[in-house]
Amino acid sequence: MLYVQEDPNPKEHGFYVVCSDDYDVNIDIQHTHRENFNIEFDRDVEPGIIKIFDMDIQYESEEKINHNAIRVVSTRDDEFIIDYAKYSEDKIIVSQIEK
């Protein structure tokens, strides 16, 4: 487990968890009370090289369809990374900004 944040939506109870195995090809965001919720960001994970600094969870509206957005600020070695995922119940759109 790399990072935990409480779900800000008062209708949803639980926590968002950022996690990965010691050696993995991605980091995952899962929700403690939503069984089928999983967002994956591609990473080459090795022990101790990824540090999560912050995670922002937003509830947005786009064309009268409710979407949620998650941003994760992290580093991998000396690389600064902002991951972004927009999701609704039926789809997930993942993007990444690296600096």
Q: How many residues does the chain have?
A: 99
First to last CA, the chain: 24
Residue 99 has pLDDT above 60, yes or no: no
Going from N- to C-terminal start, the domains of the chain cover: 3-98
Nearest-angstrom CA–CA distance, 86 and 51: 22
Q: What is the pLDDT of residues 24-58, one digit of tens each?
A: 999 999 999 888 888 999 888 888 889 999 999 88
> Which position has the higher pLDDT, 99 or 88?
88
Scored b (16 or more CB within 10 A) or e, 33-59 reads eeeebebbbebebeeeebebeebebee
